[in-house]
Amino acid sequence: MAAETSPFKASAEACVENAKRLMETADDLLWTEHLGPACALAITAQEELAKAFLLNLVADGAIPWCEPVKRALKDHICKQVATVIMEWLTPSFEIQSVRMRASEVDPEFWTSC
């Protein structure tokens, strides 16, 4: 018997699929040089991924399902902060390189962040 998917996981997966569709549309708009709408859709896609991140944290029991979390899922600033956290947790190669160099120069680097 297959394990039942948590409603939070299912919602997170729906957010990811929505983000993919938004990014595809944003990419199409870039090719037609509609930069403003493309940027707006890309930001909306980021926020969808931030919602997925928060919903997965709830599904995994890392954070409780409570009013502040529900509010954060609707608040643009909270979702943008979540995207910054996600970037910190999964940085690009360039950012990882800078962090590694900084820690070589200053061993206290990681404790000062």
* Domain locations in the chain as residue ranges: 8-112
| pLDDT tens sequence across 89-106 | 877 777 777 767 766 776
Ramachandran category for residue 86: left, alpha or beta (phi over 0 → left; psi -120 to 50 → alpha)? alpha
pTM over 0.85: no
The answer to whether residues 26 and 41 touch, using CB atoms and an 8 Å cutoff, is yes
What confidence tens digit (pLDDT) does each residue in 43-57 have? 999 999 999 999 999
